[in-house]
Amino acid sequence: MATLEAPAPPRTRAHEAQFRNEPSVDFSRSDSAREMRAALDRVRGQLGREYDLVIGGHRIRTADKIRSVNPARPSQIVGIHQKAGKEHVEPAMQAALTAFESWSRMPLEKRVELLFRAAELLRERKFELMAWLVYEVSKNWAEADADIAETIDFCELYAREALRLENVDALVQLPGEHDQLFYIPLGVGAVIPPWNFPCAIMAGMTLASIVCGNTVILKPSSDSPTIAGKFVEILEEAGMPEGVVNFCPGSGASFGDAIVAHPKTRYIAFTGSREVGLHINKVAADRVPGQIWIKRTILEMGGKDAIVVDADADLDSVVEGVATAAFGFQGQKCSACSRAIIDERISDKFLERLKDRVERISIGDPATNTNMGAVINESSMKSILNYIEIGKREGRLITGGERATKAGEGFFIQPTVIADIQPKSKLEQEEIFGPVLAVIKSRNFEHGLEIANDTEFGLTGAVYTGSREKIEIAKREFHVGNLYINRKCTGAIVGAHPFGGFNMSGTDSKAGGPDYLNLFTQAKSVGEKII
């Protein structure tokens, strides 16, 4: 691992250019498909390797292990990881505090160069990293590509945003004064990412932290620690000094809670469920001895996202958008469409077309590039199947409804559509996080918006309508952080769609947007009298 005095990689002309999103891979091209299969073969040969904790540059092994398995083939171990416990909290904190003293004073240009170099390495290894996602969390090729592309986008955007933030100045210069406004790092942050975007979200919260001069204790999900370990290796290769990011897979109930409660933790960046997010918020709010600040929480939690469809909508476009948003990555996105709210005048026609579209979705091992892979683990599968049984009692099963046993040994579930679901019912209100779509009838567009808003969440939503007036009503009245018009409610793009929601969906942190880095800094105003 690099020392704190390691020189930054040379700046390239590409670094000076305006931000552009990383392009998608076209897997219909034979050379791209061939490269992806080759990457899957290479990574298959590396499965089952053991990874260390990394604390202050030291590699540590523990008696307790975390075994990451392939959800499509649960007998296949993807990686064996050390399990950080309470005894590792203080060493990790001290390593991060020590590194903070130098890293926070490192010239911004060097921190920015680290992100640019990481982006270059990610591009060079894009197919290999996609393959790790296929094996560890059962993403198909396109979903894996989007995850890695978003990671590269975060590197590129946050590097540029950090440079922009450094050049902010006071709005007014008083006569006889030099007035400044600048942003300084917070300190040590706990980064606690989810398993569903195990590279992009994990990397985004980490990159935003370190480019601003903070240091990090990274506790990845126990379902996806391997891709996080690969990302930390890339940061090390890019020149990251020891202790800037400390890699600590571990249990949330022991290691995670202890880090959140530590008096020297300055902020917690979390993405995950509402229940865990509220717990973190509560623990962080409780001042402990030795704590001299109010801990900041940056929380992105769940959703119960709806697509509202007007009677005049283009049904072909609606069906494709709903099917893609509901069943992409097995519905395991906080932005996934879990409710389709359809004007009753077109609901029968919509269901007929949707049934045909959903039954053409292929299910199986995503290494072969099926549409849908497996859900993340056995516990999740059981929970989803339980919701399906509730849905069968609350409504009318249109298609799916069972475990997809023909797909293989993994945790496969049929894409499931249940109609005639009533507002306020369990299936309509609770986040399922799986391939289950509830279809609800509305009397009209305004009634559809009323149903859509009537949950405790407010993350994403979409409307399909040909009416400009109704579009303006939705923009004003549909209370979500990310609203889409005449398109699906998933697929937020860095820079174009800053991501984060209202109410119990989180603190509206707007990852990938122009104000995200402010959350990882504190502003300092200096007024100097000119002598």
Q: Which residues are catalytic?
A: 300, 334
- Gap between the Cα atoms of 384 and 35, Å rounded: 35
Amino acid at 122: L
Other CB atoms within 10 Å distance of the CB of residue 398? 19
Decide the pairing of beta strands 58-60 and 49-51. unpaired
Alpha helices in 334-467 (DSSP H): 347-358, 378-394, 426-429, 445-453
> Please, are residues 371 and 331 in contact by the beta-carbon 8 Å criterion?
no
Which tokens sit at 246?
């400390």
Please state, in angstroms and as integers, the Cα–Cα distance from residue 500 to each residue in 387, 432, 508, 523, following that order.
26, 19, 4, 22
Which residues are bridge partners to 65 per DSSP? 82
b/e sequence 259-290, b meaning 16+ C-beta within 10 Å:
bbbbebbbbbbbbbebebbebbbebbeeeeee
Taking the C-alpha atoms of residue 120 and residue 221, their distance in angstroms, rounded to an integer, is 25
Q: Which of 326, 243, 249, 288 is nearest to 61 (CA)?
A: 249
Who contacts 248 (Cβ-Cβ below 8 Å, separation ≥6)? 53, 54, 55, 84, 88, 92, 217, 218, 219, 255
The residue type found at 127 is F
Q: ∠ at Cα 262 (261, 268), nearest 5°?
A: 65
